[in-house]
Amino acid sequence: MVKLSRRFPLNALRVFEAVARLENFTRAAEELGMTQTAVSYQIKLLEEFLGDAVFIRKPRALRLTETGARLLPKVSDAFALLSDAVSDARQAVGETLEIRSPPTFASHWLSPRLGTFRAAYPGITVRLVRLIDAADQSNSTPDVVIRISAEPPEGMVSHPLMRLRYSPMISPDLAAGIGGVREPADLLKLPWISEIDGTWLDWFEQARIDPALIRPTNLNALGAQDLEARAAISGHGVAMLSPFFFRDELASGRLVQPFDLSIGDGKTYWLAYPPARRNARKVIAFRRWIEDAIATDLAGQDMGAVVHADLGTTA
């Protein structure tokens, strides 16, 4: 291992990371509480230490050089690790775990069960953020995120949690209004809430239904199952839902699943987090808890889901 000399430009690297991330010397100076002259001086020190420029400066643009582009990822990871090290050292005082989750998973599964996690880890405060879609971002980096995708999220440590299966569901009053739903063709008498595309076409094919005959509604919930379920409970039509999320609605009779036939969409629910946080104790604790909770929840039940143990290893 190379011993760091007193000349190692740690402060210059901190300034370099801020300038590269913000793509602006002035904004970096404001974030760091420095003058723009001091920021420029630190970048000059770094370039002298490296023997090469790290930025190409233009009147209205700032670009990384090849050297700067090689340097940035590891510098960013290093400061993330330092930040986590400090956070871990202070975790005894009010540690917070930020979880970002798709809305239906957050409201219908995760939120009702977080009490058991807090009871097991009373020193960890949980902040749950509903993530509308994978593109939603904020200025902060979450500790963990639940993602739904065919492949593991890029650039993250990812663990498969489960895959879901889906089947048409309707309100009992709506079914009774057409004399009952006894065969898949009866669904043609009702409007359809979910989008008629992708994997759902496989369900229609297996049920021997011509999707061209389905009457779609004007409601577009953008695939949000919780909104589609509410619309179905209100009698607005048929929704393609997973019994994993709506077992209470099925048990209470607010929804009915007329047929056992179900179909998967080829997507996995992933638990993902930044590589720099792989050793954070709060992240390790949450991973263990959620994997055990899902496995326990599905043990001996056919709720239209396949648990993580059958899905492979860490990505």
Fold of 10-89: Arc Repressor Mutant, subunit A (1.10.10)
The pLDDT value recorded for residue 108 is: 92
Asked whether 134 and 149 are in contact (CB, 8 A), the reply is yes
Nearest to 105 by CA among 158, 161, 27: 161
Q: Quick one: tokens of 294?
A: 């899902």
Q: Tell me the fold of 112-315.
A: D-Maltodextrin-Binding Protein; domain 2 (3.40.190)
Q: What's residue 3's pLDDT?
A: 47
172 contacts: CB under 8 Å, gap ≥ 6:
253, 254, 255, 256
Enumerate residues 6+ apart whose C-beta is below 8 A from 285: 117, 120, 121, 124
Mean pLDDT, the chain, integer? 85
| Predicted pLDDT at 120 | 92
The β-bridge partners of 167 are 241
Residues of the chain with CATH 1.10.10.10: 10-89
pLDDT at site 210: 86
**Predicted local confidence at residue 306, as pLDDT:** 61
Which pLDDT score is estimated for 297? 85
The reported pLDDT for the residue numbered 140 is 62
Q: Where in the chain is the domain with CATH 3.40.190.290?
A: 112-315
Strand 61-64 relative to strand 55-58, pairing:
antiparallel
Question: The whole model's pTM is what?
Answer: 0.67
Q: Within the chain, which residues score under 50 in pLDDT?
A: 1-5, 92-94, 309-315
pLDDT score for 311? 47
pLDDT at position 4: 46
Query: What pLDDT, on the 0 to 100 scale, is given for residue 6?
Result: 54
User: What pLDDT, on the 0 to 100 scale, is given for residue 1?
Assistant: 39
Q: What is the pLDDT of residue 70?
A: 92
pLDDT of amino acid 245: 92
**Which residue in 56, 31, 30 sits closest to 43, CA to CA?**
56
- The pLDDT value recorded for residue 58 is 79
* Residues in a beta bridge with 162: 269, 307
